[in-house]
Amino acid sequence: MNFISILYGLFLLSVLGIYWSVTQQKLRLWTLLIASLVFYASFQVHYIPLLLALVFINFRLGQELGKKTTSEPQTLDWELSNEEWQFAIDWNRRRLKLLWLGIVLNIFLLLGFKYLLPLLRFFLPSLVTSFTDSFTLIAPLGISFFTFECIAYLVDVYRGAPPTQEFLLFATYKFFFAKLISGPITRFHNLANQFKNLRVLTPDIVAEGLWLIARGAVKKGIFADHLGVFVDLCFGNLQRAGSTDLWLATFAYGFQLYLDFSGYVDIARGSALLFGLVLPENFDFPYFSTSIADFWRRWHITLGDWLRNYLYFPLGGSRQGLDRTCLNLMIVMLIAGIWHGAALGFVVWGVYHGIALAVHRFTDAISDRFEDLENFWQQPLGIVLAWLLTQFMVFTSWIWFRLPNLEDSSLVFQRLWGFSADEQFAQKVYIHALSTSQYQLAMSLIILTVVMAGAYIFNRILKLQFNWPVKLVFVPLCFYSVWLLAPEGSLPYIYFDF
């Protein structure tokens, strides 16, 4: 069920009608859970029992982790008897074992689908082929987001957050269709509080929800998919593409990835808002970052928060000196690369970002010692230079992301300078397929950058927003534009693969 389709529109309207026609919280939760299961079944119905089992296991582990050690929680440590002390120590050890059991279980499931299956296909192709004759052996959609949310819940409960005693509430949180497949990664307690204290719909909330859905549809249906057509043609014909084509495809893919993923999140957040729920922001104009650290505070924000809270800080964060901080950053970004996929290109991408973050830390440390250097990075020339270096690093790193096969990505890097395109490539891609030219395509990317810069100035610097009547005017215009201008046969969402 594609987010940009008439079917999804009818599905959303139907669920909204039932959801707001009932008044009891439990009935609303059942409505959302059943609707979410139907939504997921439209993609992969055979994985629903597995995910339900995973939800129940994490629910029970959370309950066990949250049990109190004594009946008098306010008792002072020095008033405890030796038996109570021993009980508390043994219980804390058991809680730690339960936490690790939950983490290992979730990670094993994630790595099993993302890494074990590719290894089996490589080493035992006949076994996998015979097994898949009756069962499609691919990773469940959204498994990465699903497991990360489960781990976050268990760690939060271990740290002292109250566990839920309502399986229906927990299952609805996990399966909520707006965020189920590609996030944003949402913490349980935040969404659970919203379920229990539902916001009343007002005209401005409805307008904001519809505007987010319409804006996301434009990002994905018009901009991302048109760019994706060129990216697929260019990266699918590496032997014939020239250096200019590869540079254009590299920048086009960077924009495609951002517009595709942020468009999905906009639709997800807009859909949730119509149910009175607020999902977290996931993007904050990342391509206007002036450092790689700032980029990761603005790109895939919920993943960055997860990596900081549940990996970087437990490793020691920046509390143990510069060398250890850089090592922690490298470990975190390596795991971020592995999280995205099994191919070596994702590992290289993660290491590349880890190195960039470490270099940024060293640069900051050096700048702190030299006042002139620190002042330079705060002047207009230094800001522009920092922005150019950051975006050059980010966009070139997307090559490994788009072509995780190292043979393909290495070929692109080898041909970024001094290679001319095959004559047939230029004719088939630019003339026959796209009806444009290299120059026009480059100008389109520049115009897109200017439009994004205008939106950045409008929102971040001037702090301006459309009022809700204006948003309602733009909503049908956006949907009509998508219907009129979107390419035939919409491309799948990129982050569905992760």
Q: Which of 355, 359, 353 is nearest to 296 (CA)?
A: 353
- The H or E element that residue 104 is part of is helix 82-111
Q: Are 330 and 355 in contact (CB under 8 A)?
A: yes
User: How many C-beta atoms surround the C-beta of residue 405 within 10 A?
Assistant: 12
HEC assignment per residue over 211-276: HHHHHHHHHHHHHHHHHHHHHHHHHCCCCCCCHHHHHHHHHHHHHHHHHHHHHHHHHHHHHHHHCC
- How would you label 72-100 residue by residue, b for 16+ Cβ within 10 Å and e otherwise? eeeeeeeeeeeeeeeeeeeeeeebeebbe
Angstrom CA distances, 415 to 39, 236, 239, 244, 270, stand at 43, 14, 9, 9, 42
Active-site entry in 300, 340, 353, 360: 340
Residue 463: is it exposed, middle or buried by C-beta count within 10 angstroms (0-12/13-18/19+)? exposed
> What is d(CA 299, CA 285) in angstroms, rounded to the nearest whole number?
8
Whole-number CA gyration radius for the chain: 25
Phi first, then psi, for residue 380 (nearest 5°) are: -55, -45
CA dihedral 85, 86, 91, 92 (to 10 degrees): 70
Tell me, yes or no, if 340 is annotated catalytic. yes
Question: Does the bond joining 184 to the residue before it have cis omega, within 30 degrees of 0?
Answer: yes
Q: What is the C-alpha to C-alpha distance for residues 359 and 365, in angstroms, rounded to an integer?
A: 10
* DSSP-assigned letter for residue 312: I
Q: Are 349 and 340 in contact (CB under 8 A)?
A: yes
Cα distance between residue 172 and residue 166, in whole Å: 10
Q: How far apart are the first and last CA of the chain?
A: 18
Residues acting as catalytic residues: 340
